[in-house]
Chains A and B, each alone.
Chain A
Amino acid sequence: MEYILQTHRLTKRYRGVTAVDQVELHIKKGDIYGFLGQNGAGKTTTIRMITGLIQPTSGSIEMFGRSVTGRRQIPFERIGSIIEFPGFYPNLSVYENLELHRRLMGVPEPGAVWASLELVGLVDVRDRKFHKLSLGMKQRLGIARALLHNPELLILDEPTNGLDPNGIMEIRKLLRDLAEQRGITILISSHILSEVEQLATRIGIIHRGRLLKELYLDEIREKNRHYLQIRTDDDRKAAFVLEQQCGIRDYRIHEPGLIRVYERLGESGRINTALVQAGVEVAELSIQRDTLEDFFLKLTGG
Chain B
Amino acid sequence: MHKVIAAEFYKLKHSRIAWAVWFGALLPSLLYTIVHLVTADSVSTWDAWFGSQYSVLLIFSPTLFSIIAGYIFGREFMHKTMNSLFTYPYSRMHFLIGKWAVAVVFIVCTCLLAFLATLLSGLLFVEEDPGWTQIFAFLYAYLIMAAAAVAIVPLWSFVSIIGKSFVPAVVISLVIVCLPGPIGGGSAYSEIVRYVLGIAGYGAPANAGWFASAAAGLFLIFLVPSAVLYVKMDVHGGT
Contacts and interface: CB of A to CB of B under 8 A. Distances in A.
B182 interface: no
B80 A87 contact: yes
Contact of A87 (B4, B13, B82, B90): B82
A52 B87 contact: yes
B7 interface: yes
A54 B90 contact: no
Nearest to B4: A104
A151 to B, nearest CB: 11
A90 B14 CA distance: 10
Contact of A84 (B83, B92, B234): B83
A99 B6 CA distance: 12
B83 A53 contact: yes
A44 interface: yes
Given A72-B91, A84-B83, A89-B81, A104 B7 contact: yes
B95 to A, nearest CB: 10
A51 interface: yes
Interface string B63-81: 0000000000001000111
A126 interface: no
Contacts of A72: 91
Contact of A92 (B14, B90, B92, B234): B14
B13 A96 contact: yes
Contacts of B89: 75-77, 105-106
A103 interface: yes
B88 A76 contact: yes
Contacts of A76: 87-89
Interface string B209-237: 00000000000000000000000101111
A20 to B, nearest CB: 12
B235 A87 contact: no
Interface string A30-57: 0000000000000010001001111100
Nearest to B84: A87
Contacts of A83: 83-84, 87
A153 B82 CA distance: 20
Contacts of A101: 84
A198 interface: no
Contacts of A202: none
Contact of A51 (B87, B90, B92): B87
B234 A104 contact: no
Contact of A81 (B14, B87, B236): B87
A236 interface: no
B83 A85 contact: yes
B11 A71 contact: no
Given A52-B86, A55-B232, A103-B6, 17 more contacts: A51-B86, A54-B234, A71-B91, A71-B92, A81-B84, A85-B237, A86-B84, A89-B81, A91-B12, A92-B13, A96-B10, A96-B13, A99-B10, A103-B3, A104-B3, A104-B88, A105-B89
